[in-house]
Amino acid sequence: MMDIRKLTKEETPPWELLLLADPSRAVVEEYLKSGNVYVGEKSGKAIGVYVLKETKKVVVEIMNVAVQEDFQGKGYGKQLIAHAINEASKRGYAQVEIGTGNSSIHQLKLYQQCGFRMTGIDFDYFTRNYDEPIVENGLLCRDMIRLCYTFED
């Protein structure tokens, strides 16, 4: 397990981790303006991160989630997503959204395991917003798959 806490506005965000999930520093800088950064720490060192941002009055979005490479595949990603869902619930939101690439097979698995369901496709989102082509798992990343977690009444 790792300790997860909200980063204060005075602290420097863990850029290396944030850029693992999102290759565009400009895109990340934009959502950091209004999003809250949470860091997952082990022995005081940041090994995980997520960013939660309000997108509608009752909806928050997980804009970024990443675990340092050496620590991946050990359940920390699941812990971060579960924490984000819990934060959203405590703060009274009705839904948590997340988006990922059509090529991000493992992420699609992880989010569905955490209770998210697919709600839509933002066609050509990545081709429109990123200068360099993104290829993973032998697939060109073109479309953003939108997923949503809805709290029970």
Total number of residues binding ligand COA (CB under 6 A)?
A: 19
| Residues within window 90-109 making contact with ligand COA, judged by CB under 6 A | 100, 104, 106-107, 109
What phi and psi values does residue 64 have, to the nearest 5 degrees?
Answer: -160, 140
Cβ contact 89:74 at 8 Å: no
Applying CB under 6 A, does 85 fall inside the site for ligand COA? no
Q: How far is it, in rounded angstroms, from Cα 68 to Cα 63? A: 17
Of 54 and 136, which has the nearer Cβ to ligand COA? 136
Of these, 75, 86, 123, 135, which contacts ligand COA (CB under 6 A)? 75
Applying CB under 6 A, does 77 fall inside the site for ligand COA? yes
Smallest separation, CB 107 to ligand COA (Å): 5
- Listed in sequence order, the residues at least 6 apart from 138 whose beta carbon sits closer than 8 Å to its beta carbon are none
Applying CB under 6 A, does 5 fall inside the site for ligand COA? no
Smallest separation, CB 67 to ligand COA (Å): 4
Of 10 and 26, which has the nearer Cβ to ligand COA? 26
Cβ contact 51:35 at 8 Å: yes
Q: How far is it, in rounded angstroms, from Cα 52 to Cα 54? A: 7
Task: Write the CA distances from 138 to 49, 127, 134, 141, integer angstroms.
Answer: 26, 16, 10, 9
Q: Which residues make up the interface to ligand COA (CB under 6 A)? A: 20-21, 65-67, 72-78, 100, 104, 106-107, 109-110, 113
